[in-house]
Structure 1
Amino acid sequence: MKLEHIQAQTHHARRGALKNAFTYGVDYVLTDLGSAAPLLISRNRFNLWSIWDHRHGGARDAGHGVEWFRSVLEERGMPTENAQLLLLTQPSFLWFHFNPVSFWIAVVDGTPRAFVAEVNSTFGQRHCYFCARDGFAPIQKSDTLIAEKLMHVSPFQKIAGHYAFNFGLTEDNVDIRITFKNGDHGVLATLAGQRQPATSRSLAWAAIRRPLGAARVLALIHWQAAILYLKRAPFLKKQKPPEQLISDGHDLHGAGE
């Protein structure tokens, strides 16, 4: 199994009159979901770190893994025979799993040609945003791909506006920028880190340095929500999820917004 450990940083900054920003370290893996892996991480088997097919590629907790992504690509006309299909995600830690966003990525000749942002909310909902350039041209960090926001993610942001994705994946680095815009409001979110082979040593160090994995991430999300609540940010109740699981974005040809 191709398995890389991305010891990344994520930065979030709220746009608008009420300011809030934070930066945290997070541990992601980039994998082709093969069979071989370091001792401390497993696929579809309990371990210190685990990747479970049923948690990705389809409805939440009823996924079909990489075959779902393959079918999504082929339905949209992208040949997959020569494509490397990868998953960028936070693995489960012991019994706990939560991913604000994972990415399915189709790579041809070392360059991304399409991706799906698999977005999960703390309300138990999921929506997937498919993004590709016209003709499945190579995606560079300078290219801007737009998707209409359709799912309630934050209780402090309406279901309105759009996401602008700038997706950077090179041989050495992951560098993803997501800008949510709704008029003068929104959020900037980034994920950046070096691509390194996953080893039992790096995974053990991650468990010590950032204990509890995704449980820690969920706790930090609720901590930031408490800060916004105390700042009197307008709080929205849980909204109805979209009927469709996946929606299609469009390409701005790198011209910006």
Structure 2
Amino acid sequence: MVTAPALIPVPVRTPALYRCVIAHVRTAPLRYALRHRTYMWLVDPDRLPELPYVLRPLARFESRDHFFGEHASIRAGLDAFLAGHGVRLDGGRVVMLTHARVFGYVFNPLTVYWCHGPDGTLRCVVAEVHNTYGERHCYLLRPDASGTAEVGKEFYVSPFFPVDGRYRMRLPAPGDRLDLTVHLEREGGRPFTATVRGARHEARTGTLLRLALHRPWSTLAVSAAIRLHGIRLYLRGLPVRPRPDHRNQPRPDHENRENPA
């Protein structure tokens, strides 16, 4: 079994694995949809999974893959980001949905952090977005009771959309099911929607092996699929929008280019 150190009982148990379907639907200026299957981890960044030695290449969680990439731990990077926005968790628990490194590679289009105070109440949600140009950006969200929040778009993700409009994100904490939705809303409509839906599985050795065998190099496959769909959209005549400089968070050196999402 993949184990974590002993935890105080909480409503959301970690670690866990979610077998997911990620879908993108574009409605303007032309209609296009894509779906791909993958799996994601739900973890506590203060108590990351302790995998058997032979399985460690299948799941590594490294601080350089998140936030500024310069902190000793993922939690330290999160706390630094929150402090920059005047938010303190006072030691409260964080639950993180993410892709792990597989055989040394990771691409995380979206990592979500549900951030709680010491009494267990949700204080905020952080949505960390990576594009395939090796850039990253975090959004601080204050969701309502349904898990929904709105925030202005500040980061270049797709080469086919400019940096304008707003995101409407529905990010309820995962339970037996994972059900996340991100809408891009621009003047005149809602041209893009992304969903992440999946079912929870206990983080057991056999489960991880089955998922890894069915989806080897899982995040590399996601990155390759994004590029392929980007090429298809370009060949269909969709114009590429200029990419502005993005300086507020440094670029990791292990991620690459072009995301049609």
Q: Please indicate, yes or no, whether the TM-score normalized by the shorter chain is above 0.5.
A: yes
CA RMSD, Structure 1 to Structure 2 (Å): 2.5
Give the CA deviation at 1:130. Answer: 0.6
Distance in structure 2 (CA, Å) of the matches to 1:4 and 1:85: 14
Equivalent of 1:95 in 97, 104, 116:
104
Question: Which residue identity lines up with residue 200 of structure 2 in the other structure?
Answer: R
Matches within 5 A, 1:77-226: 78-81=87-90, 83-107=92-116, 112-133=122-143, 139-140=144-145, 142-183=146-187, 184=189, 186-226=191-231
User: What is the TM-score when the length of structure 1 is the normalising length?
Assistant: 0.81
Q: Percent identity over the alignment?
A: 24
- In the TM superposition, residue 215 of structure 1 has moved relative to its aligned partner by 0.6
Larger fraction in strand:
1
> For structure 1, which runs of at least 5 residues remain unmatched after alignment?
134-138, 246-257
The residue type paired with residue 150 of structure 1 is: E
Name the aligned partner's letter for residue 233 of structure 2: L
1:235 equivalenced with 2:240 (yes/no): yes
Q: What SS is found at the alignment partner of 2:31? A: coil
- The residue that corresponds to 1:37 in the other structure is 50
Counterpart AA for 2:138: C
The amino acid of 2:128's aligned partner reads: E
1-side partners of 2:170 and 2:111: how far apart?
15
1:5–1:173 CA distance, 2 compared to 1 (3 A):
same
- C-alpha distance after superposition, 1:106-131 (max 9, x if no partner): 14676644111111111111111010
Structure-2 change in CA distance of 1:110 and 1:226 (3 Å): farther
Instruction: For 1:40 and 1:168, locate their aligned partners in 2 and report how far apart those are by CA, in whole Å.
Output: 33
Stretches of structure 2 that go unaligned for 5 or more consecutive residues are 5-13, 250-261
Contact map agreement 1:96 1:215 (CA 8 A) in 2: yes
Q: Give the TM-score, by structure 2 length.
A: 0.80
How far did residue 194 of structure 1 move?
Answer: 2.3
Say if 2:16 is the partner of 1:4: yes
Residues 39-72 of structure 1: CA deviation (Å, up to 9, x unaligned): 2787xxx62221112211x22x435411222344
- In 2, the alpha carbon distance for the partners of 1:123 and 1:72 equals 21
Number of residue pairs matched by the alignment: 234
Structure 1 position 170, deviation (Å): 4.4
